[in-house]
Amino acid sequence: MAKKNKILVPAEQHVSLNQRYNGNIKAKDAGKIGGHIGGKMVRELVKVGQQQLQQSHNDTN
């Protein structure tokens, strides 16, 4: 999934990346990519944490 995101997200955000070196992209463009990927990951982790807390609560009752 990470490799898929690495390719698809920049294209969706209209940011062109090279296969090797991307040190010349603007911070704004890098933020578009990282924010998009990171935001999804954070939401997913919060969801998992909430499910674990709910399960833990159900197990103790």
Q: Mean pLDDT: which of 6-10, 24-28, 34-38 is highest?
A: 24-28
Q: Residue 17: is it exposed, middle or buried by C-beta count within 10 angstroms (0-12/13-18/19+)? A: middle
Rounded to 10 degrees, what is the CA torsion of 10, 21, 18, 34?
0
pLDDT of residue 51: 94
The domain segmentation of the chain, as residue ranges, is 2-60
> Can you give the three-state secondary structure of the chain, one letter per residue?
CHHHHHHHHHHHCCCCCCCCCCCCCCHHHHHHHHHHHHHHHHHHHHHHHHHHHHHHHHHHC
pLDDT of residue 9: 65
